[in-house]
Structure formats: structure tokens, C-alpha cells
Homo-oligomer: A and B are copies of this chain.
Amino acid sequence: MRNDRYYSLNLNIRGIGQSPTLAINELSKQLQAKGKHVYPMGLGQSPFPVPSPVVEALKMHAHEKDYLAVNGLDILRKSVARFHRQIDGVDISSRNVLIGPGSKELMFLLQLVYYGDIILPTPCWVSYAPQAKIVGRNIRLIHTTFENKWLITPEQLESYLTGENDKYRPRLLVLNYPSNPHGGTYSSEELTRIARVAQKHEIIILSDEIYGQLHHKGRHISIARFYPERTIISSGLSKWCGAGGWRLGTFAFPSTLAWLMNSMAAVASETYTSVSTPIQYAAEQAFQGGIVIERYLCHARRILSYIGKRSTEILTNSGIRVHPPDGAFYLFIDFSQCSEKLIPKGIIDSNILCAKLLDETGVAILPGGSFQRPAEELTARLAYVNFDGSKALATSETIPLSERLPEDFGNYCCASVFEAIHKIVEWLN
């Protein structure tokens, strides 16, 4: 029998393995099955439960079975538009909201329909580049630096865009803040300056704000305020609502980009059709918000801020370079200062670094290479999510929000996170 596997696969897809976050998850499970104690800090899943009003809404609509419109449930699109108007101060109409089975799928559709280059400041989220590969788009990386807190500067962007010498080139810049993988975000001034450059060159911005609601101080600002005419805001339930497994993402377009949304919807109608109906009804409850969800968010932010700060302190005190996160639940660790110790051990790139660390300490984190950093750079992302989010929330709720969490909060609510951080420090010394 002939064997098609040798020749009948799309060349863009050959050699693409599973997403690295999912792969490290599998590896961790295998090691655990062999009896090894593993600290699973590879997959960036919210540790918190879905807020109860949202779970109740799902139960209430469990019998809903009709196909919904491709663009999404009307009342949900209205809630999402209101959410962006109220929280982000951006003028979004419900007509220009698109609901998808995860913002990842929506980004894929965007790259599939948009015929232009994709510009990625690195380190960046693991899936942008593989998606571009699958659809055959050009990927343009702009490497940021530790010194600039891994943020792209307006000067970098300007120099790149001008340097291409192709004024009308269709280009899509992806900005993700608070950032996966480093938790950093942009100030209002920085966003204004980047917006000005983008405006001058008339590029489109995909503003991935999935962690917006997890800004540790609740002060997320969208670049759409400063460049509304060509910014698409990406959000969803996965992070701030703890519902990653539910698969619901949202894109909010300015009316000037409706043509792009319509093309995406046309492809959606030939692929996923629409997002699961009961999930859309439940999401409407989430985007509507309310006191229970607001309180949940305040506690979640306080806990994540506490862990982020303490972990950064421990690492920094041991000579490891890392910035305290402004939001989300990630640390992007730069081990380059320890390279004198690491290189003699054969640790010459981020893949080997993470493999050895996992093997010798059980701490599972993701290599910088997965975030489009140069392979030989000794960086890695740690997701501090290996704790019981329900317990941490319950404990936090006993402490007034006006107070800071006590020093020993970590000992009984997220001991495993700090254990892992200490393991890393010990391992290096």
C-alpha cells in the first residue's frame, strides 16, 4: 500500500507539532505518572474557578440548542460592546463585535483572511507565529530587551516600518498587554507614542487584551483609545473569568475595519459555524459583570499581584533577572547572568535549560524559544498558577480589600509556587 504521509501533507503544516504549552503539559503528566514530583508552571491556565453567577447562567441555558448567528448572540455582542465602552472607554458598536471559540481561533481567522505581514514584538505568545506559518504569511520579529522591560519602543517600530521601504505594504502589528509571557504592560504615554507611529504608517493593530482585566491594579488601558480607527481589541473568558476550557473569545472592531470582520465571519460560517449556544448565554452574564464578578476580580488581582511581587523579590535577590509583572500570572526570567554557571553544564540554549530544570528539580517552565526569542538566549516563562485558586480566593475574602495580604498568605495558600521558585534558586547555586 502506498503511504500518503510521505507526500500528501500541506507543506506549511509539516513538522508543526502541538503547541509547546500543551506539550509541556503532557511531559509533566508523564513524569508525574512515573512518580516524580512536578511543579506544573508551563501551561498558562487561570487557577481561579469560574464565578458562580456565570456557572449558574450556563446551567440555566443548558437546554438551548439552536444554531446562533455566525457573529454571535445579539445580547452577548451588546454586552461585549458595553464592556469595552465602559471599561476601556472605547467607542465600540455591538454590530462590530465577533464571537469565536477562543480568541486564538479568531486570530487564526484574521491571519487567514488578511493578506499582509504580521509583526511580532518578542517575546510573544506562543501561537501567533505558528498560525502565520500555517496560513503562509510572513513573520517579522522585532526583538525587545530586558532593559526595556520586554516592551517595544515607538522608535523600534518606526525604524522597522520605515526600513522596509514599502509604504503601502499591508501590515498587522500584534500587541499583547498585560503580556503573556512577561506580565508587563504599557503606560498611557507609551501607548500614545506607539499609536502615533502606527497611525503614520496606517498599519492595523491587533491589540490582544485577554489579560486586561487581570491588570494587578485594575488599571488596564487599551491602545484603541489612541488609535481607534485601526485597532482590533481581542478579549475573552479564558483568563479573567477563569474559563479557559469553555472556549469563548471576542474581537471588537472599529467600523472602518468592518470589511475584515465580514470576511472573517464568512470563513467562520464555513468552519466553526458559531460558538456553543449555552456557552454564549453564560458569557453574556460574565460580560454584564456585577458586584459578585467585580469582587472576584479584585481578590484575584490582589492574589496575583502578591505572588508576582514576592516571587520577583526572591529571584532578584539571588541574582536572577526578572521584572515584577503588572498583570496576568507570568514571570519571564532571564538567566543570562548565570550563564557562567550554566554553560559548563551544557546548558547552551533555553530548551536545554528548561529540560534540565524539569529533570533535576521537577519545575516545568517554558523556554524563551517558544516565545520567538533567539534559541541560545537563556530565558524562560514561568506561569505561577500551580495553586488552589478557590482556596486562595476564599482566604483573601476574609481580609478586607483595603488591606494588603499578610506576609504569610503564601505559606498556606500558594506554598507550591514559592517552593518551586526556591527550587530554581537552589538549582542555580
Question: Considering the chains assembled together, what is the distance between the CA atoms of A248 and B67 in angstroms?
Answer: 12
Copies of this polypeptide in the complex: 2
Query: Is A263 at the interface (CB under 8 A from chain B)?
Result: yes
Min CB distance A40 to B, Å, is 12
Question: Considering the chains assembled together, what is the distance between the CA atoms of A244 and B114 in angstroms?
Answer: 29
Q: CB distance B65 to A265 under 8 Å? A: no
Residue in B1, B14, B134, B272 whose beta carbon sits within 8 Å of that of A105 in the complex: B272
Q: CB distance B112 to A244 under 8 Å? A: no
Which residues on the B side are within 8 Å of A267 (C-beta)? 13, 16, 134
Min CB distance A52 to B, Å, is 9
Q: CB distance B245 to A68 under 8 Å? A: yes
CB-CB nearest in chain B for A172? B8
Query: Is A410 at the interface (CB under 8 A from chain B)?
Result: no
Min CB distance A367 to B, Å, is 17
Residue in B2, B50, B64, B270 whose beta carbon sits within 8 Å of that of A16 in the complex: B270
Given contacts A1-B202, A4-B170, A18-B269, 16 further A-B contacts (CB under 8 A): A1-B229, A5-B260, A7-B170, A8-B114, A8-B115, A9-B263, A13-B112, A13-B267, A18-B70, A19-B273, A22-B269, A101-B272, A104-B273, A246-B276, A246-B278, A247-B275
Query: Is A316 at the interface (CB under 8 A from chain B)?
Result: no
Which residues on the B side are within 8 Å of A62 (C-beta)? 55-56, 58-59, 62, 282
Chain A stretch 1-45: residues in CB contact (< 8 A) with chain B: 1-2, 4-5, 7-11, 13-14, 16-19, 22, 43, 45
Min CB distance A59 to B, Å, is 5
Query: Is A63 at the interface (CB under 8 A from chain B)?
Result: yes
Q: CB distance A17 to B266 under 8 Å? A: yes
